[in-house]
Amino acid sequence: MTIIAYSSLIVALVSIVLAVSGKRHYYWISAIGIYIFSFLAGFSIGQLTVGLTFIPLVLAIGYTFDWIKNKVQILIVLSLGGLIGFVMVFFVDNKWVFFPFWIFS
């Protein structure tokens, strides 16, 4: 499990670098990688890193639907992703945050 967790973290970090460099579809891969890492990291760091999932997720959604056109919109979307992540970490039960994985356990 540790190898899978850290592999997904490495994939997420490399995907972020590629996405920032202009290949915007890599935000989707980054969001999935962080989410998998968060689940496998368990109830220690996993609870905190799941909030980071929402930053590349909202960026991926914004770029997919062409809602992001300038730097102000990037800051708005980043703030929205950070706010959603904060709410999910501190106010939503882990049963619902990790819902797709909860079904299989």
d(CA 51, CA 25): 20
Kindly indicate the confidence band of residue 105, based on its pLDDT and cuts at 50, 70 and 90.
Answer: low
pLDDT in tens, 80-89: 999 999 998 8
Residue 5 is classified by DSSP as H
pLDDT on residue 73: 96
CB 6 within 8 A of CB 36: no
- Provide the Cα torsion 41, 80, 31, 96; round to 10°: 50
Kindly indicate the confidence band of residue 93, based on its pLDDT and cuts at 50, 70 and 90.
Answer: confident
Average predicted confidence (pLDDT) for the chain: 89
Q: Output Rg (C-alpha) for the chain, integer angstroms.
A: 14
Kindly indicate the confidence band of residue 102, based on its pLDDT and cuts at 50, 70 and 90.
Answer: low
What sign does the CA torsion over 27, 97, 40, 80 have? positive
